Chain A
């Protein structure tokens, strides 16, 4: 499944970069994530609850940030396991300065899903991915206003 999205956020690149690297903030803005613990630098333990169409599951696994290029880009590698199937995703995130101190945040990646999730959720996956993407950016905006 391909994942992609792009949105202009009302904060400078430095702020966005910091927020993404802060586990507490990241946990709040990422849809479904209920817990994100920093295990070692750039390595997180994550727990997510996701409901996709007819399938509902609690995912546990890791998220890892690699190929960091400060204030520019990073790759998020996610491995999440659940009773209903596993998800492995590599997402490349890019931050570009936009006008008036704003930031264009875009991501592009691919998720491999397996098990019951692939078997019964495949049909609705793309729609769900779009919804989750929208939620992510909405949450991000809300988080920016919080501060």
Chain B
């Protein structure tokens, strides 16, 4: 049969169960005799536990056990997955992140006790009966303030709150010298606001120890089951990996917040063995605000220098990044290797220097959130470029074109070596901006804006161009940069005797549609029907190994591993086919699901070869039976999607409310397997990026209380906050992976935020407004418009 799935908007196979409410999430799992856990969390950001009395809770009917920090003092804390060194080479400060704290709480929401009972509500009510005598201590929630002398300390064992200081780019003195030649310098001081990920499905875990087989099973709402198993077994619990099965059933979104190994995963696993029963813990929504890792939270002071022709001559940045109270799994990589390395952007900036200080504060941990470091880099660059253009009286698009890296395909031209360690694979940056401006009707818009202004209406346009680094790899490189894990992916393609194909991938979907996209690739490459392909993921017993899904790596790394295994299947299949057709492999070609002798109509189907492989009665001598291959694919480089996002806003002159009139996104994510899925990912990312710009922001008060920890207080974007998105694509294939794909999951959240803010600044430039802190709430905008 003839198949052509790649590039088609095949409807998502998994949606049959999702949109009919039949998905099976961790909290849907009910095991016989299951007990329920509730975590009692510190009401204070920083407070010493003077004493704790759990007897009231223990006496309650239905309560099985109350655990406190003292029960786990011998257990290792959850580890950090990435080691970053200080500028002077010493290792980062890595305090223990205990499963429950026994000495003092270091952020509002720090776990202090776990009540296990025969149902959730009993556990929760019992937790109210735990009496704790607290000594409340002063707290610090801002990374810059945390580095001031005399700031309250998060970890008593260190002399101050610095996790590490770090730098990247050209030597500082070279950058200073370049900046000294600038005829114009644009300087911005700003905060990249802290946001909460808010996946639809709150975190949920079920630990189940089976004494008969001496085996643990953990069901977890994670983005990477194998990594959780590795971290939990090797670092926290010391249980051999072969005794632990980690299952990630359907997972309802993650946006980064479900990458990390959380203490509750280890708690339910340990307690399950001790209590001889499965134990479930599920976060409630408000608890998620306190205990899921947040994103962003940088305080920066950035300067970009230009010569008299508008060419960028240098970029100098000082940033304080908030890491929270403990080191979350990838927290240390985000402000450093995932952020500093993207400061070249799309520009030929010859000298760049980033001076980064990461600080502990009395807040929830900060880790990767959709884009992870790249949105922060893009925000900084695109705000600077746009502001510089206005300051110099130049057109912001023109200034970008002038400074863009020229197009290169990575095949005929080499990759582009940046000043900040990375080598871009391929790119054509002019093309996306040209297309974006064309979609907008840039020149017409400028006239419309003039007209509107005469009527007292404030229209503004903001441009943002971005590049991101996806599919982090290869392992050797990330290892040299401090990663404590490899960043490859595995895939097994198991052809069944009837010619049906089971694919076991280490990538793990949390809503991205892997079961469809991967099946499209497999069906196309094998020339079989999609319904003959089954994608298995999220089970550490079924899949050999995996690094999970984040950083838009699923297709670029996971998909490539599948292709590598398919190649092995076809290679062995050809040997069987040649034997059956009594010809040489060289005379065969594989197309439409069959091996055919070139120039003849003599062929053998994929199914017949599959059957022969398992029923090897007529079989080549010396060849093993079976048709089942695994691959571990370790890419040679990251992939580098890029794009241009343009936002048009109107600011209400009376109220300061920002209305997005148009949102244009032209993205180049390399080859596209399923356009509908890519569009969906772009749309979701745009919504999150716009949310950060206009609505969202985690707020702590001065005592470290999270004051907007519910959806009544934390403004998630809703449908009526968003316009209809106008999207288009350019395609610059990735030159180094077999699918030519780059990744699309984060793009929308990276480019959109600065586009929105730039648009608002453009609308209000004539009112003297130059910069505003996100989110751009009506109150902030109104005050700025009115000179307050």
Interface residues of B in 247-280 (CB under 8 A from A): none
CA of A6 to CA of B482, assembled, Å? 60
State how many angstroms separate the Cβ of B128 from the closest Cβ of chain A. 5
Interface-lining segment among A33-41, A99-107, A114-122 = A114-122
Which residues from A are CB-within-8-Å of B701?
A: 118, 122
State how many angstroms separate the Cβ of A131 from the closest Cβ of chain B. 19
Are the CB atoms of A120 and B703 closer together than 8 Å?
A: no
Does B735 belong to the interface (CB within 8 Å)?
Answer: no
A114, A119, A120, A122 — most chain B CB neighbours (10 Å): A119
Are the CB atoms of A114 and B713 closer together than 8 Å?
A: no
Are the CB atoms of B707 and A118 closer together than 8 Å?
A: yes
Are the CB atoms of B43 and A114 closer together than 8 Å?
A: yes
State how many angstroms separate the Cβ of A45 from the closest Cβ of chain B. 15
Q: A88 — nearest CB in chain B belongs to which residue?
A: B136
CA of A18 to CA of B703, assembled, Å? 35
Given the interface pairs A83-B128, A85-B43, A86-B43, the reply to whether A118 lies near B712 with Cβ below 8 Å is no
Are the CB atoms of A123 and B705 closer together than 8 Å?
A: no
Does A13 belong to the interface (CB within 8 Å)?
Answer: no
Are the CB atoms of A116 and B286 closer together than 8 Å?
A: yes
Does B44 belong to the interface (CB within 8 Å)?
Answer: yes
Does A76 belong to the interface (CB within 8 Å)?
Answer: no
Does B108 belong to the interface (CB within 8 Å)?
Answer: yes
Given the interface pairs A86-B43, A119-B289, A120-B286, the reply to whether A114 lies near B703 with Cβ below 8 Å is yes
CA of A119 to CA of B247, assembled, Å? 33
Does B708 belong to the interface (CB within 8 Å)?
Answer: yes
Q: A120 — nearest CB in chain B belongs to which residue?
A: B710
Given the interface pairs A86-B43, A88-B136, the reply to whether A118 lies near B710 with Cβ below 8 Å is no
State how many angstroms separate the Cβ of B325 from the closest Cβ of chain A. 16
CA of A113 to CA of B703, assembled, Å? 9
Are the CB atoms of B44 and A119 closer together than 8 Å?
A: no
Which residues from B are CB-within-8-Å of A116?
A: 43, 286
Does B709 belong to the interface (CB within 8 Å)?
Answer: yes
State how many angstroms separate the Cβ of B53 from the closest Cβ of chain A. 13
Are the CB atoms of A119 and B703 closer together than 8 Å?
A: no
Q: B710 — nearest CB in chain A belongs to which residue?
A: A120
Does A112 belong to the interface (CB within 8 Å)?
Answer: yes
Contact with A along B127-148 (1 / 0, CB 8 A): 0100000101000000000000
Which residues from B are CB-within-8-Å of A123?
A: 707-708, 712-713
Which residues from A are CB-within-8-Å of B108?
A: 114-115, 118
Q: B707 — nearest CB in chain A belongs to which residue?
A: A122
Are the CB atoms of A113 and B705 closer together than 8 Å?
A: yes
CA of A85 to CA of B134, assembled, Å? 12
Are the CB atoms of A120 and B705 closer together than 8 Å?
A: no
Are the CB atoms of A119 and B705 closer together than 8 Å?
A: yes
State how many angstroms separate the Cβ of A9 from the closest Cβ of chain B. 33
Are the CB atoms of B710 and A119 closer together than 8 Å?
A: yes
Does B706 belong to the interface (CB within 8 Å)?
Answer: yes
CA of A54 to CA of B258, assembled, Å? 30
CA of A113 to CA of B712, assembled, Å? 18
Which residues from A are CB-within-8-Å of B286?
A: 116, 119-120
Which residues from B are CB-within-8-Å of A54?
A: 712
Among A113, A115, A120, contact of B713 (Cβ-Cβ < 8 Å): A120
CA of A114 to CA of B709, assembled, Å? 12
Q: Chain B contact residues (Cβ within 8 angstroms of A): what range?
A: 10 to 19
Interface residues of B in 12-59 (CB under 8 A from A): 43-44
State how many angstroms separate the Cβ of B644 from the closest Cβ of chain A. 38
Which residues from A are CB-within-8-Å of B709?
A: 119-120
Are the CB atoms of B128 and A119 closer together than 8 Å?
A: no
Which residues from A are CB-within-8-Å of B707?
A: 118-119, 122-123
Contact with B along A73-114 (1 / 0, CB 8 A): 000000000010110100000000000000000000000111
Which residues from B are CB-within-8-Å of A119?
A: 286, 289-290, 705-710, 713
Which residues from A are CB-within-8-Å of B128?
A: 83
CA of A25 to CA of B534, assembled, Å? 75
State how many angstroms separate the Cβ of B139 from the closest Cβ of chain A. 10
Are the CB atoms of B708 and A122 closer together than 8 Å?
A: yes
Among A83, A114, A122, contact of B44 (Cβ-Cβ < 8 Å): A114
State how many angstroms separate the Cβ of B164 from the closest Cβ of chain A. 31
State how many angstroms separate the Cβ of B135 from the closest Cβ of chain A. 11
State how many angstroms separate the Cβ of B698 from the closest Cβ of chain A. 11
Which residues from A are CB-within-8-Å of B705?
A: 112-115, 118-119, 122
CA of A46 to CA of B26, assembled, Å? 43
Contact with A along B57-89 (1 / 0, CB 8 A): 000000000000000000000000000000000
Contact with A along B686-719 (1 / 0, CB 8 A): 0000000000000001010111111011000000
CA of A119 to CA of B44, assembled, Å? 11
State how many angstroms separate the Cβ of A90 from the closest Cβ of chain B. 13
Which residues from B are CB-within-8-Å of A122?
A: 701, 705, 707-708, 713
Which residues from B are CB-within-8-Å of A118?
A: 43, 108, 701, 705-707
Are the CB atoms of B712 and A120 closer together than 8 Å?
A: yes
Q: B699 — nearest CB in chain A belongs to which residue?
A: A122
State how many angstroms separate the Cβ of B446 from the closest Cβ of chain A. 41
Contact with A along B491-508 (1 / 0, CB 8 A): 000000000000000000
State how many angstroms separate the Cβ of B555 from the closest Cβ of chain A. 39
CA of A86 to CA of B135, assembled, Å? 12
State how many angstroms separate the Cβ of B258 from the closest Cβ of chain A. 22
CA of A120 to CA of B290, assembled, Å? 12
Q: A114 — nearest CB in chain B belongs to which residue?
A: B43
State how many angstroms separate the Cβ of A113 from the closest Cβ of chain B. 7
Which residues from A are CB-within-8-Å of B136?
A: 88, 112
State how many angstroms separate the Cβ of B734 from the closest Cβ of chain A. 44
State how many angstroms separate the Cβ of A145 from the closest Cβ of chain B. 39
CA of A118 to CA of B44, assembled, Å? 10
CA of A34 to CA of B709, assembled, Å? 30
CA of A119 to CA of B706, assembled, Å? 6
State how many angstroms separate the Cβ of B554 from the closest Cβ of chain A. 35
CA of A147 to CA of B718, assembled, Å? 57
CA of A70 to CA of B272, assembled, Å? 61
State how many angstroms separate the Cβ of A85 from the closest Cβ of chain B. 5
Which residues from A are CB-within-8-Å of B134?
A: 86
CA of A122 to CA of B708, assembled, Å? 8
State how many angstroms separate the Cβ of A82 from the closest Cβ of chain B. 9
Which residues from A are CB-within-8-Å of B713?
A: 119-120, 122-123
CA of A70 to CA of B666, assembled, Å? 74
Interface residues of A in 42-88 (CB under 8 A from B): 54, 83, 85-86, 88
- A-B interface, 3 closest residue pairs, ranked by CB to CB distance from nearest: A115-B43, A119-B709, A118-B705
11 contacts across the A-B interface (CB closer than 8 A): A86-B43, A112-B705, A114-B43, A115-B108, A115-B705, A116-B43, A118-B701, A119-B289, A122-B705, A122-B708, A123-B708
Residues of B in contact with A (beta carbons under 8 Å apart): 43-44, 108, 128, 134, 136, 286, 289-290, 701, 703, 705-710, 712-713
* Given A112-B703, A120-B709, 7 further pairs, Cβ under 8 A: A86-B44, A86-B134, A114-B44, A119-B709, A120-B710, A120-B712, A122-B708
